[in-house]
Amino acid sequence: MKCRVCGKPANINLRSYKTALCEEDFIAFLEKRVSATIGKYRLIDEADRPIVAVSGGKDSLSLWYMMNKLGYVSDGIYIDLGIEGYSERSLEKVRQMADTLRRRVYVFHVRNALQKGIDGVARVIRRPTCSACGTIKRYIMNRVCIDKGYTVLATGHNLDDEASALFGNVLYWKREYLWKKNVVLEGRGEHLVKKIKPFFLCSEREIAAYAIMKGIDYIYEECPYSEGAKTLVYKEMLNRIEESSPGTKIMFVKGYLKMLKEKGDEKEDGRESRYCLRCGYPTFSDKCSFCWLLDKFGTEYDVEFDQYN
Ligand SMILES: [Zn+2]
Ligand SMILES: [Zn+2]
């Protein structure tokens, strides 16, 4: 197979785009798509100070690398969940990238804050591990932006993540979540930072190829708690559909975005926005879920970050 652009031997076959490309032209092709996404959805303004949520995996490290390469100079934030072995190795990959990019990374250690790893925290508040993790991550990532003056939080969610979440929401007709996914979620003043997903239209396979071609050293293992998660089953199913009908995944997600745009801003959620009386984070009651969690630990703890670089 030959590269469609330059005619040299192709390194990757992209059936959903009916094309094959060499390494150099594939990198340019993917970076162009991310630039276009950033432009089309107005993800980052010139005056913005972006920060990337990094986990040590291929998606977030590739995103951090690519954003800096495309001229969107950004620091990183890493949340150390205190998972034996896994968290240390992930942090090591993040530090390496911070050194490569010469950018700062903020580190929040769950264990320093709550004296337990994420599994222990989940047990105390009697929630599934992934739910406790979500609460802490959302809160801390927002908090670093508010405290340190970042105006945009970028996450490495890719096409496969979005397609599988969307698939799950449709499968069970979760109306309350169905129209909440987007490439950009606007912030709310000093309470909530704007969130963006520049890889929304890039598949996991494309990002993995990019990471390998660019020599990005990432942690291969998935989080040990993600095993058996429904989203992984959906991803497998969608990949099987993709194999027999290339391009289905991107059509599914693009079709959703188109409908979302046509739908406009109709308010689905009748609940008014309120803010945590203790910390100002958006909530539906007097106290946000993070402050509620702190109460369960009987701690007055306030958020602190380590700084690397
Ligand atoms: Zn080429
Ligand atoms: Zn709060």
Q: Tell me, what DSSP letter sits at residue 242?
A: H
Residue 298: CB partners within 8 Å, gap ≥ 6? none
* 33 Cα–ligand 1 center, Å: 17
Q: Which ligand is nearest to the Cα of residue 21, counting in written order? A: 1
Residue 105 lies in a domain: yes
Tell me: the pLDDT tens digits for 240-298?
999 999 999 999 999 999 999 998 766 555 667 799 999 999 998 899 999 999 998 88
pTM of the model: 0.94
Residue 65 lies in a domain: yes
* 149 Cα–ligand 2 center, Å: 19
* 154 Cα–ligand 2 center, Å: 22
Give the count of domains, the chain. Answer: 1
Residue 60 lies in a domain: yes
Contact 114, 301 (CB under 8 A): yes
* 136 Cα–ligand 2 center, Å: 11
pLDDT higher than threshold 70 for residue 227: no
Write out the residue range of the structural domain in which residue 74 sits.
31-266+292-308
Tell me: the pLDDT tens digits for 19-60?
999 999 999 999 999 999 999 999 999 999 999 999 999 999
What percentage of the chain's residues is helix, strand, coil (to nearest 5)?
50, 15, 40
Residue 274 lies in a domain: no
Residue 178 lies in a domain: yes
Residue 3 lies in a domain: no
Model confidence at 205, pLDDT cuts 50, 70, 90, reads very high
* 139 Cα–ligand 2 center, Å: 9
| Region 180-190 average pLDDT | 93
